[in-house]
With several copies, the nearest count.
Chain A
Amino acid sequence: MNLSVSIGKLTLQNPVMVASGTFGYGAEYARLLDLNQLGAVVVKGIRLTPVRGNPTPRTAEVTSGMLNAIGLQGPGVDGFIEKYWPFLKSLRVPAVINIWGTTVEEYAEVARRFDAVGGVGALELNVSCPNIKEGGAQFGTDPKLLAAVVAACRKATTLPLITKLSPNVTSIVPYALAAEAEGSDALSITNSFPAMAIDIESRRPKLANVTGGLTGPCIKPIAIKLIWDARRAVKIPIIGMGGIQSAADAVEFMLAGANAVAVGTANFYEPQTALAVIAGIRDYLQWHNIENIHDLVGAVRLS
C-alpha cells in the first residue's frame, strides 16, 4: 500500500499533517503521540519579529466548532530558530513552517531566512489569517497581491512553497491559479472563516478582538466545496483542511481533490486524531482494494 505524497521536492510518508496553529511547535504534543508517524508537522505562523498577539479571550466555543483570534502570537524567526527548531530538526518527519508578513518584502525575507536554516521541509505562506489588522488576510483576497507574495517568496527560496488560501472569496479559482502560476508547489485549503459570537448576557463579543476565525467540523462542507473548485482549476497538490476529525472526513477531502490533509481543531479535543486518521485511511484503502492513495484524489463519481 502506497500512502506517500509529494509536494514539490518534498515526499511525505503519508498524507496526514497537522494544521498550523493547532499543534504549537510540535514539542507540546510529543508527550502524547509519536510525531514521527505523521506526514508532516506544520508549526504556528511566524513572522520576522516576535508578536505578542491579541488580548484575551482569544477563543470561544461555538456549535460544532470554535472561533479564534490569537493574533499570531509568536517568537519571530530568531526566537523560533533558537527555541523550537532544534527539536523539530530532530524529527524524522518534515517540519513545514507557516510564515507571514505585513509586506511582500517581509514574506520574502522570512522565506530567505528559513531557506538558510537548512533542513526545513516546506514553507506554507499564510495569506489568509483573519485575525490581524495588517498583513495576512488582505494578501489572500486580492489576486494581484497574492501573486506578488508568492512570486517574491519563490525568488527567495528553493524550498517547496505551499500557499494557504483564504476561503473568504467569491471564487477560489483565480487565487488558486495565481499561486500556481507564480510557482507555488501546492495549495492549502482552507484557513478559518471570518466569524463572530456575542455573549447575550454580558452583551460583549466572545472574543476580545470582536471577530475571529471559525474552524472545526462546522466548516467542513464549505471546505470540501472549495477544494473541489480548486482541484478542477490547478494541477499542483492541494492540502485539504477544515473540520477533519476522522479518517472518513479525510477520505472525503481526498475524493474532492485533496492530495493530503491536515488535522486542525480536532487536535485540541482529541490529540490522537491525526494518528487515528492515518490508521483509518489504511483500513479504507484495504477495504476498497486501493493500492495507491493517489487513486483517491479527486475520485468523486459524478455520473
Chain B
Amino acid sequence: MVEQTVQIISNERDTDAYFQLTLQAPEIARATQPGQFMHLRIPPLREALLRRPFSIFQANGETVAVLYKTVGKGTNALAKMRAGEELSAIGPLGHGFTVPAGGGETPLLVAGGYGMAAMYLLAERSPQKGIVFVGGRQRVDILCEAEFRKIGWEVRATTEDGSYGEKGLVTQPLVAELKRGGRNRKLFACGPTAMLKAVAKIAEEFQVPAEISTDEHMCCGVGVCLTCVVPIKTASGWEYQRTCTEGPVFDSRNVLWEIAK
C-alpha cells in the first residue's frame, strides 16, 4: 500500500457512460492482487473532499487501469481529466480474490456493472479458464467482454431488455450451468448487492463455495474510519468488518445476508 501522486496516461470513453483511466503507477501495479482497489483523490473536486474507490481492472508492469462509470460529481470530474494531469492514488487496497491454484477449482465469475472489470485480473491470473456470467440492463452495460475472450474465457451475457445476449438476469445462465453438474467449481462475484445476495443463495443451494466482493460506501479506504462495514458471522454471533480492509472480498457463507444492505 502506497500513497502517490500519479500521472494520467490516458482517460478515454469506453462505452456510453464508462471510461477507462490508465495511470502511471509502477509501485501499485506491481503489488496489485486480483480484486483489490485504489482510492483516488480527484483534484478538480474541491468542496467534495473524499477519495473515490475503484477496482483495479488491469495492472501491467508500470501502469494500472480502472474502468469507471460516470454516476456523480467525482466520476464526472474525473472524466474531464486529461493525459498528463496528476491525481493522488492510494493502493493497492483491500483483501482480494483467492486465485485458484493450478489444478484447483474451475472459476465461474458472476459480474454486474464494474464487477466485470474488478474480476479481469482474477481471470487473467487463474491457471484454469472458466466462464464469466455478466449481466446488465442493456447492451452498453456489458463491459470488457473482448478482454475476457482474448484470454480464452467464455463470456455469457444477459441483458434485462434483451438488447444483447440472453434476455433476463445474470443468475439464469448461472443456475443453468450449475444444474448441468460438474465438480470442483467455485463462484466469484462482483456487482450490486442484490446480485451478490442472489449468488450467495445459489451457492448455498448448489453447495459450491463463493467469494463475493462487496460494494459499500467508503470514506478512508484504509480501515480507520469504520464506514464501509458489512455484517460478518463470528463464533459468538456477528460483527461489522470493513469492506476496505477485511474485504472487499468475503467468503459468501460468512456474510450475514439477512442484515446486509
Contact A29 B222 (CB under 8 A): yes
Complex Cα–Cα for A270 and B219 (A)? 11
Contact A267 B240 (CB under 8 A): no
Residues of B close to A59: CB separation below 8 A: 217, 219, 225, 227
CB distance from A87 to the nearest CB of B (A): 13
The answer to whether residues A271 and B226 also contact, given A52-B240, A59-B219, A66-B219 and a CB cut-off of 8 A, is no
Of B46-54, B58-66, B178-186, B200-208, the one with at least 4 CB within 8 A of chain A = B46-54
Residues of A close to B216: CB separation below 8 A: 56
Complex Cα–Cα for A63 and B1 (A)? 29
Q: B-side binding surface: helix, strand, loop or mixed?
A: loop
Contact A68 B224 (CB under 8 A): no
Residues of B close to A265: CB separation below 8 A: 49
A82 at the interface (CB under 8 A from B): no
Contact B50 A66 (CB under 8 A): yes
Residues of A close to B261: CB separation below 8 A: 55-57
Closest residue of chain B to A21 (Cβ to Cβ) is: B225
Question: How many residues on A have C-beta within 8 angstroms of the other chain's C-beta atoms?
Answer: 34
1/0 per residue, CB under 8 A from B, across A41-62: the answer is 0001000000011011111110
B25 at the interface (CB under 8 A from A): no
Question: How many residues on B have C-beta within 8 angstroms of the other chain's C-beta atoms?
Answer: 29
Which B217-232 residues have C-beta < 8 A from chain A?
217, 219-220, 222-230
Closest residue of chain B to A272 (Cβ to Cβ) is: B3
CB distance from A201 to the nearest CB of B (A): 12
Q: Which of A31, A52, A56 has the most CB of B within 10 A?
A: A56
Contact B223 A217 (CB under 8 A): no
Complex Cα–Cα for A66 and B226 (A)? 14
The answer to whether residues A32 and B49 also contact, given A21-B225, A57-B217, A70-B225 and a CB cut-off of 8 A, is no
A-B contact pairs, 21 of them (CB 8 A): A22-B220, A28-B224, A28-B245, A29-B222, A32-B3, A56-B217, A56-B229, A56-B230, A57-B227, A59-B217, A59-B219, A59-B227, A64-B47, A66-B50, A68-B227, A70-B225, A70-B226, A73-B240, A270-B88, A271-B90, A271-B222
Cβ contact of B227, chosen from A29, A58, A64, A267, cutoff 8 A: A58
1/0 per residue, CB under 8 A from B, across A257-300: the answer is 00000000101111110000000000000000000000000000
CB distance from A220 to the nearest CB of B (A): 11
CB distance from B78 to the nearest CB of A (A): 15
B2 at the interface (CB under 8 A from A): yes
Residues of B close to A21: CB separation below 8 A: 225
Complex Cα–Cα for A52 and B232 (A)? 11
Residues of A close to B222: CB separation below 8 A: 28-29, 32, 271
Residues of A close to B228: CB separation below 8 A: 56
Q: Which of B51, B239, B240 has the most CB of A within 10 A?
A: B240
CB distance from A211 to the nearest CB of B (A): 16
Complex Cα–Cα for A24 and B224 (A)? 4
The answer to whether residues A269 and B217 also contact, given A21-B225, A32-B2 and a CB cut-off of 8 A, is no
Complex Cα–Cα for A52 and B239 (A)? 6
CB distance from B36 to the nearest CB of A (A): 14
Cβ contact of A58, chosen from B41, B229, B239, cutoff 8 A: B229
A242 at the interface (CB under 8 A from B): no
